[in-house]
Amino acid sequence: VIDSEDLIKTNLIDCERILIGFISLLGLNTSSLELKNIIEYDSHQFIEDSTWWDQSNIAESILTMSIPSRSSNFTYSNDFYYLHGDRSFAQYLYENRQCYNEGIFAQMQSETITNRTSTDEPNRCLSKSFDCAFSDLYSFNDREQLYQQSNQKPLKCAFNIPSVFDKVRNRYSRNHTCQTIIFTCITNCYDPLPEVQGVILPSFCFVALLDTRTMNTYKKLYSMDFNFKWDFIDLGVDATPFSVAAKSTETLKIVGQRMFPLAKWIIWMDGKGHINDISSLLKQARAPVIGASHPDPTRTSASEVEPTISHIRGRETAFSQRLNNSIMDIKLQEKEYQRDGFYSRSDKLQLKMYDIAIFLYRNGHPCIFRFLCGWHNEVNYFSYRGQLSVYYPAVRLNLTDYLHFLPKQFYHTVGHRSVC
């Protein structure tokens, strides 16, 4: 007899060892490719930090009203007790169990069916074949699977085909020292690196996903900075396999949990972001998702549409097919959101817009994994502009109480500035 909690360990190596032993007891062949893939890509789901919502001692804390008080020093230990947003911890615990039961195991590359074709009319995958394959989303029905109750299918959440982005996951998937990941993706020299001020703890790691041109420019630009801390990952000369170059940035900011599965906090920043005193910020966090406020306090999901179209018109060549496709996607998304009542529900909830130049989320929380997968699927299925859809999965999944704003003293943003 094996108690299920005996399978839970604090580190990945111990998790893998005991899982392999357990699978062997069941008489299964642990050397089969399928089981090797499961061990490689799913073992992190059994580490202690990823299973807090299902541990008996946590339930006992609620029953005995003995929830620990928050430490005066920054620590990753037991911070889930304080990240319940605008609901009670007991409610948050219950909902994470529900989110897990409804499915959080992401689809693996080996599970993806090859040679799939779109069933939508018109076939929108013709113009973005990589986009569809990367997420295995080929139809509106594929997208809707996330929102079906008790969905037992693996979630569609990126990395469903081999790609240049596997470089990141391969480098960091077993890294347990980087407990807070600060990462960015910048191509075509669009910005300098984001700035981080304050104490940098040993558990903080900085990762920059760059095309070759931008990386070479940065090496010269920051060559005399002896405190330089960024790990450059070269995505190659053409780091934009998506149909629109900016989609690499918009997609990758949302799938940090797939690239850095052992990290505890994942912080996305684009080049216009400046963040201060991360340890104090995380010590004060009261929700598992935190983002910067939009500079226009009146902006909503519905009113964001026209400024987004204007912005795209300013960046793309007039009357180009890519511009036409981008606007068509935005209009299709807007029509769908109007039809299913998303805008009206957002207004009723008084949801003010984020500036997703800075966006933080806590790893190992099943409901947040589902939210991020849903957001990623919106970016892949509709418009690549993540600003338009950031709230959509949170509203559909009833998770908006867990999305908070960054306190103003911890960040500011500046304009974009090309560096070459």
Work out the angle at residue 110's Cα, subtended by the Cα atoms of residues 106 and 112, and round it to the nearest 5 degrees. Answer: 70
Q: Is residue 137 assigned to a domain? A: yes
Are the C-beta atoms of 358 and 407 separated by less than 8 Å?
no
Distance CA 417, CA 420 (A): 9
pTM above 0.85?
Answer: yes
Say yes or no to pLDDT of 13 above 70: yes
Domain that holds residue 161: 77-298+354-420
Work out the angle at residue 126's Cα, subtended by the Cα atoms of residues 315 and 250, and round it to the nearest 5 degrees. Answer: 40
Q: Which of 49, 76, 103 is the last residue of a domain?
A: 76
pLDDT of 33 = 85
Sheet holding 273-276, edge to edge: 195-197, 273-276, 411-413
pLDDT of 151 = 63
Tokens representing residue 192 in the block:
């300098």
In this prediction, residues 194-202 reach a mean pLDDT of: 94
pLDDT of 114 = 86
pLDDT of 1 = 52
Strand partners, 292: 355
121 and 267, same domain (yes or no): yes
263 and 171, same domain (yes or no): yes
228 and 264, same domain (yes or no): yes
107 and 220, same domain (yes or no): yes
Q: Is residue 317 assigned to a domain? A: no
Q: What percent of the chain is modeled with pLDDT above 70?
A: 98
Sole residue written with tokens 């769908």:
336
Q: Is residue 234 assigned to a domain? A: yes
**HSE of 175, CA atoms in CB hemisphere, 13 A:** 22
Are the C-beta atoms of 183 and 208 separated by less than 8 Å?
yes
Q: Is 378 exposed, middle or buried (0-12, 13-18, 19+ CB in 10 A)?
A: buried
289 and 199, same domain (yes or no): yes
Q: Is residue 320 assigned to a domain? A: no
275 and 419, same domain (yes or no): yes
Tokens representing residue 300 in the block:
């909503």
293 and 273, same domain (yes or no): yes
The structural domain count of the chain equals 2
Query: Which CATH number characterizes residue 412's domain?
Result: 3.90.550
**DSSP-derived 3-state class of residue 104:** coil
Q: Is residue 169 assigned to a domain? A: yes
pLDDT in tens, 62-121: 999 899 999 888 999 899 999 999 999 999 999 999 999 888 888 989 888 888 889 888
pLDDT in tens, 326-351: 999 999 999 999 999 999 999 999 99
Say yes or no to pLDDT of 417 above 70: yes
32 and 131, same domain (yes or no): no
From residue 413, give the alpha-carbon distance in Å to each of 85, 273, 276, 358, 417.
25, 5, 12, 9, 12
40 and 121, same domain (yes or no): no
pLDDT of 189 = 87
Q: Where are the beta strands (DSSP E) in 169-305?
A: 180-186, 195-197, 204-210, 230-234, 265-269, 273-276, 289-293
Nearest of 403, 363, 412 to residue 45 by alpha carbon: 363
Q: Is residue 99 assigned to a domain? A: yes
Q: How many CB atoms lie within 10 A of CB 184?
A: 23
Sheet holding 265-269, edge to edge: 230-234, 204-210, 180-186, 265-269, 354-362, 289-293, 403-405
From residue 53, give the alpha-carbon distance in Å to each of 57, 206, 265, 339.
10, 29, 17, 35
Q: Which of 54, 76, 98 is the last residue of a domain?
A: 76
Distance CA 233, CA 66 (A): 45
Band (pLDDT 50/70/90 cuts) for residue 153 is: confident
pLDDT of 150 = 65
46 and 11, same domain (yes or no): yes
50 and 175, same domain (yes or no): no
Q: Is residue 329 assigned to a domain? A: no
Q: Which of 53, 76, 99 is the last residue of a domain?
A: 76
Least confident of 14-28, 161-175, 321-335, 338-352: 14-28
Q: Cis omega (within 30 of 0) on the bond before 122?
A: yes
pLDDT of 201 = 95
Helices 321-339 and 305-315 pack at an angle, to 10 degrees, of 170
Nearest of 246, 237, 243, 290 to residue 270 by alpha carbon: 246
Q: Is residue 290 assigned to a domain? A: yes
266 and 200, same domain (yes or no): yes
In this prediction, residues 149-156 reach a mean pLDDT of: 76
